[in-house]
Chains A and B, each alone.
Chain A
Amino acid sequence: TQTVSQSDAHVTVFEGDSVELRCNYSYGGSIYLSWYIQHHGRGLQFLLKYYSGNPVVQGVNGFEAEFSKSDSSFHLRKASVHWSDSAVYFCAVSANSAGNKLTFGIGTRVLVRP
């Protein structure tokens, strides 16, 4: 069974700052990793995903994430945040290519201050 943990429940940054959101997973085999964003009261939107190849993956709106097998991590980063990046970010993992076994983390709430 795969598990995913997001160690930071809340992160506060200023506009223009960089941000890194942490995600660690536990699974013994090949794994699919992804990040989603949820603005208040809205549905989730896909940001990016990784399965194999280049461990640094680029997503929408300047987000990128880096996979590390040795650290069992898939941290999300953005070099310069905008106020519209205020949202909850969910890391998700799956042991197969189908979406029926997708497990989400508890989410990290990001507040971007002006």
Chain B
Amino acid sequence: AQTIHQWPVAEIKAVGSPLSLGCTIKGKSSPNLYWYWQATGGTLQQLFYSITVGQVESVVQLNLSASRPKDDQFILSTEKLLLSHSGFYLCAWSLRGNSGNTLYFGEGSRLIVV
């Protein structure tokens, strides 16, 4: 069975500090990977997606970057946090190719920037 794990579960960080959020998928090779951001009580905004190792497409510019250093790992980061980065970050995967848009989400990482 496939599992998706996100870390950390929650963080409180200061404005201007760096951030790194991680996501690991086990049990599925070569998945498509996605990062979403959700404001409190809001909808989901897609940030990045990746179809293969080393390749990441940006959907929305929010002073964040993403990398896929391994087939099963997706990292979201920034060198300087803004207050507007607060929210819930969700990693997701889907099957490569004609998946019909079924996404499988992790449990999320909650970020509070103070």
A, B bound = yes
Q: Which chain A residues border B97 with CB–CB below 8 Å? A: 97-98
Interface flag for B21 (CB, 8 Å): no
Interface flag for A43 (CB, 8 Å): yes
Contact A49 B100, CB 8 Å, known A44-B90, A90-B43, A102-B46: yes
Q: Which chain A residues border B106 with CB–CB below 8 Å? A: 43
Q: Which chain B residues border A104 with CB–CB below 8 Å? A: 43-44
Instruction: Supply 12 A–B pairs (Cβ within 8 Å), ascending by A.
Output: A32-B100, A36-B105, A43-B108, A46-B102, A92-B101, A94-B101, A97-B98, A99-B34, A100-B34, A102-B46, A102-B103, A104-B44
Q: Which chain B residues border A90 with CB–CB below 8 Å? A: 43-44
Question: Are A49 and B102 in contact, CB atoms less than 8 angstroms apart?
Answer: yes
Question: Are A49 and B101 in contact, CB atoms less than 8 angstroms apart?
Answer: yes
Interface residues of A in 51-104 (CB under 8 A from B): 51, 90, 92, 94, 97-100, 102, 104
Question: Are B107 and A43 in contact, CB atoms less than 8 angstroms apart?
Answer: yes
The A/B interface has a contact count, at CB < 8 Å, of 70
Contact A98 B46, CB 8 Å, known A43-B90, A43-B105, A44-B90: no
Closest chain B residue, CB of each to CB of A88: B41
Question: Are A100 and B49 in contact, CB atoms less than 8 angstroms apart?
Answer: yes
Q: Which chain B residues border A51 with CB–CB below 8 Å? A: 100
In-complex Cβ contact of B57 among A46, A100, A102 (8 A): A100
Interface flag for B86 (CB, 8 Å): no
Question: Are A97 and B100 in contact, CB atoms less than 8 angstroms apart?
Answer: yes
